Amino acid sequence: MAGSTIGRLLTLTTFGESHGKAIGAVLDGFPAGMALSEEDIQPYLDRRRPNASALSTSRKESDRVELLSGVFEGRTTGTPIAMLLRNEDAHSSDYDALKDLYRPGHADMTYDAKYGFRDHRGGGRSSGRETAARVMGGAVCAKLLKELGITVQAKALTVGTPAEGDSAGGVIEVVMKGVPAGVGDPVFDKLDARLASALMSIGAVKAVEVGAGVSASSMRGSEMNDAFTAEDGQIKTKTNHAGGILGGISNGMPVVLRCHVKPTPSISLPQESVNRRGGSVTIEIGGRHDAVIVPRAVVVAECMCAFTLLDLMLSGMGARMEDVKKRYSL
Amino acid sequence: MAGSTIGRLLTLTTFGESHGKAIGAVLDGFPAGMALSEEDIQPYLDRRRPNASALSTSRKESDRVELLSGVFEGRTTGTPIAMLLRNEDAHSSDYDALKDLYRPGHADMTYDAKYGFRDHRGGGRSSGRETAARVMGGAVCAKLLKELGITVQAKALTVGTPAEGDSAGGVIEVVMKGVPAGVGDPVFDKLDARLASALMSIGAVKAVEVGAGVSASSMRGSEMNDAFTAEDGQIKTKTNHAGGILGGISNGMPVVLRCHVKPTPSISLPQESVNRRGGSVTIEIGGRHDAVIVPRAVVVAECMCAFTLLDLMLSGMGARMEDVKKRYSL
Amino acid sequence: MAGSTIGRLLTLTTFGESHGKAIGAVLDGFPAGMALSEEDIQPYLDRRRPNASALSTSRKESDRVELLSGVFEGRTTGTPIAMLLRNEDAHSSDYDALKDLYRPGHADMTYDAKYGFRDHRGGGRSSGRETAARVMGGAVCAKLLKELGITVQAKALTVGTPAEGDSAGGVIEVVMKGVPAGVGDPVFDKLDARLASALMSIGAVKAVEVGAGVSASSMRGSEMNDAFTAEDGQIKTKTNHAGGILGGISNGMPVVLRCHVKPTPSISLPQESVNRRGGSVTIEIGGRHDAVIVPRAVVVAECMCAFTLLDLMLSGMGARMEDVKKRYSL
Amino acid sequence: MAGSTIGRLLTLTTFGESHGKAIGAVLDGFPAGMALSEEDIQPYLDRRRPNASALSTSRKESDRVELLSGVFEGRTTGTPIAMLLRNEDAHSSDYDALKDLYRPGHADMTYDAKYGFRDHRGGGRSSGRETAARVMGGAVCAKLLKELGITVQAKALTVGTPAEGDSAGGVIEVVMKGVPAGVGDPVFDKLDARLASALMSIGAVKAVEVGAGVSASSMRGSEMNDAFTAEDGQIKTKTNHAGGILGGISNGMPVVLRCHVKPTPSISLPQESVNRRGGSVTIEIGGRHDAVIVPRAVVVAECMCAFTLLDLMLSGMGARMEDVKKRYSL
- Residue-wise pLDDT tens digits, C44-89: 999 998 764 556 655 566 789 999 999 999 999 999 999 999 998 6
Show Cβ contacts of residue D83 under 8 Å, excluding neighbours closer than 6 positions.
D24, D25, D26, D27, D41, D65, D66, D67, D68, D133, D136, D137
Of C188, C193, C183, the residue nearest C315 (C-alpha) = C183
Q: Do the Cβ atoms of C28 and A16 come within 8 Å?
A: no
Taking the CA atoms of residue B102, residue B107, residue B110 and residue B115 in that order, the dihedral angle to the nearest 10 degrees is -100
Q: Sort out which chain A residues have CB atoms less than 8 A from D317's CB and list them.
A: 314, 317-318, 323-324, 327
Residue B31: closest C-alpha in chain D: D115
pLDDT of A52 > 60? The answer is no
Of D34, D148, D315, the CB nearest to A9: D315
Within a 13 Å sphere around the CA of C319, how many CA atoms are in the beta-carbon half? 27
Q: Is the pLDDT of residue C286 over 90?
A: no
D325 contacts chain A (CB < 8 A) = yes
Number of domains composing chain A: 1
pLDDT at C104 (0 to 100)? 97
CA angle, B309 then B203 then B41, to 5°: 50
Kindly state the average pLDDT of the residues A138-155: 98
C-alpha to C-alpha distance for A16 and A124, rounded to whole angstroms: 8
Residue D270 sits at the chain C interface (C-beta within 8 Å): no
D134 HSE (CA, 13 A, CB side): 30
Whether the predicted pLDDT of C23 surpasses 60: yes
- Evaluate if residue C271 carries a pLDDT over 70: yes
Mean pLDDT of the region C140-167: 97
Residue B241, pLDDT > 60, answer yes
Residue A185 has pLDDT above 90, yes or no: yes
pLDDT for residue D52 is more than 70: no
Mutate to test the interface with D, among A185, A187, A328, A329 (most CBs of D within 10 A): A328
A57-107 confidence digits (pLDDT tens): 555 667 899 999 999 999 999 999 999 999 986 677 778 888 899 999 999
**Are residues C31 and B76, on separate chains, in Cβ contact within 8 Å?**
no
**Helix, strand or coil, per DSSP, at residue A13:** strand
Contact across the interface for B327 and C323, Cβ inside 8 Å: yes
Residue ranges making up the domain that contains C171: 5-328
DSSP assignment of D154-188 equals EEEEEE----TT--B-EEEEEEEESPPTT-S-STT
Q: Does B188 touch chain D (CB under 8 A)?
A: no
Q: Do A105 and B252 touch (CB under 8 A)?
A: no
D57, pLDDT greater than 90: no
User: In this predicted structure, what is the pLDDT of residue B59?
Assistant: 59
Label residue B233 by pLDDT band (50, 70, 90).
confident
Instruction: Identify the weakest region by mean pLDDT among B234-238, C170-174, C276-280, D288-292.
Output: D288-292
**Among A170-179, C243-252, D120-129, which is the least confidently predicted range?**
D120-129
Does the beta-carbon distance from B15 to D116 stay under 8 Å?
no
D154-192: pLDDT as tens digits: 999 999 999 999 999 999 999 999 999 999 999 999 999
Question: Is pLDDT above 70 for C299?
Answer: yes
User: pLDDT exceeding 90 applies to what percent of chain A?
Assistant: 86
> Can you say whether the dihedral through the CA atoms of C253, C254, C258, C259 is positive or negative?
positive
pLDDT in tens, A229-252: 998 889 999 999 999 999 999 999
Q: Given CB atoms, is C9 within the 8 Å cutoff of chain D? A: no
Kindly identify which residue of chain D lies nearest to residue C116, measuring between CA atoms.
D320
Which subunits count as partners of chain C given 3+ CB pairs below 8 Å?
Answer: A, B, D
Residue % of chain B over a pLDDT of 90: 86
Q: Do D274 and C228 touch (CB under 8 A)?
A: yes
Q: Are strands C170-177 and C151-159 parallel, antiparallel or unpaired?
A: antiparallel
Asked if B1 reaches chain D (Cβ–Cβ under 8 Å), the answer is: yes
The average pLDDT across A35-59 equals 82
Report pLDDT digits (tens) over B97-140: 888 999 999 999 999 999 999 999 989 999 999 999 999 999 99
Q: C216 vs A62, which has greater pLDDT?
A: C216
Mean pLDDT, chain C, whole residue set: 94
| % residues pLDDT > 70 (chain B) | 95
pLDDT of residue C97: 82
Q: How confident is the model at residue D54 (pLDDT cuts 50, 70, 90)?
A: low
Chains in contact with D, where contact requires at least 3 CB pairs less than 8 Å apart: A, B, C
Residue C321 touches partner B, C-beta closer than 8 Å: yes
Chain-centre distance for alpha carbon D134? 6
* Virtual torsion, Cα A65, A68, A70, A74, nearest 10 deg: 60
Q: Is A21 on the interface with C (CB under 8 A)?
A: yes
Please give, rounded to a whole number of angstroms, the shortest distance from the CA of C38 to a CA of chain D: 24
Condensed to tens digits (0 to 9), the pLDDT of residues A212-229 reads: 999 999 999 999 999 999
Q: Is A237 on the interface with C (CB under 8 A)?
A: no
Altogether, the residues listed in chain A come to a count of: 330
What pLDDT does residue D131 have? 97
Residues 120-139 of C with CB under 8 A from D: 125-126, 130
Mean pLDDT, chain A, rounded, equals: 94
Band of the pLDDT at C285, cuts 50, 70, 90? confident
pLDDT band at C330 (very low <50, low <70, confident <90, very high): low
The pLDDT value given to residue D289: 78
Cβ–Cβ < 8 Å for A41, A59: no
Q: What is the pLDDT of residue D211?
A: 98
Is the Cβ pair C80, A21 closer than 8 Å?
no
Distance from CA of A288 to the nearest CA of D (A): 42
Tell me the average pLDDT of chain B: 94
Residues D189-217, mean pLDDT to the nearest whole number: 98
At D231, the pLDDT band (50, 70, 90 cuts) reads confident
Do the Cβ atoms of A2 and C118 come within 8 Å? no
Residue in D185, D197, D267 closest to C221 by CB: D267
Q: What's the mean pLDDT in B11-33?
A: 97
pLDDT given for residue A233 in this prediction: 82
Inter-chain touch D13–B28, beta carbons under 8 Å = yes
B319 and B212 Cβ atoms separated by less than 8 Å: no
Q: Is D328 helix (H, G, I), strand (E, B) or coil?
A: helix
In this prediction, residue C53 carries a pLDDT of 54
Q: Express each pLDDT in B49-86 by its tens digit.
A: 876 455 665 556 678 999 999 999 999 999 999 999 99
pLDDT above 70 (res D197)? yes
Per-residue model confidence (pLDDT) at position C57: 59
Q: Is B31 in contact with B78 (CB distance < 8 Å)?
A: yes
Q: Which of A316, A302, A305, A283 is nearest to A44 (CA)?
A: A302
pLDDT band at D49; cut points 50, 70, 90? confident
CB contact under 8 A, B207 and A230: no
Per DSSP, the residues of A93-151 read GGGGGGTTB--TTSSHHHHHHHHSS---GGGGGGSGGGHHHHHHHHHHHHHHHHHTT-E
Question: pTM above the 0.95 mark?
Answer: yes
Whether chain A has a CB inside 8 Å of the CB on B280: the answer is: yes
C274: domain CATH number? 3.60.150.10
For C:27-46, CB contacts with A below 8 A are: 28-29, 31-33
Identity of the residue numbered B23:
I
**C-D interface: how many C-beta pairs under 8 angstroms?**
399
Instruction: Give the pLDDT confidence score for residue A60 in this predicted structure.
Output: 62
Number of residues assigned to chain D? 330
Closest residue of chain D to C241, computed from CA coordinates: D105
Other Cβ atoms within 10 Å of C60 Cβ, number: 11
At B171, phi and psi to the nearest 5?
-125, 135
Interface contact C211, partner D, CB < 8 A = yes
Is C33–B180 a contact, with Cβ atoms under 8 angstroms apart?
Answer: no
Chain A residue with minimum CA distance to B241 = A105
Phi, psi torsion values for D211, nearest 5 degrees: 55, -125
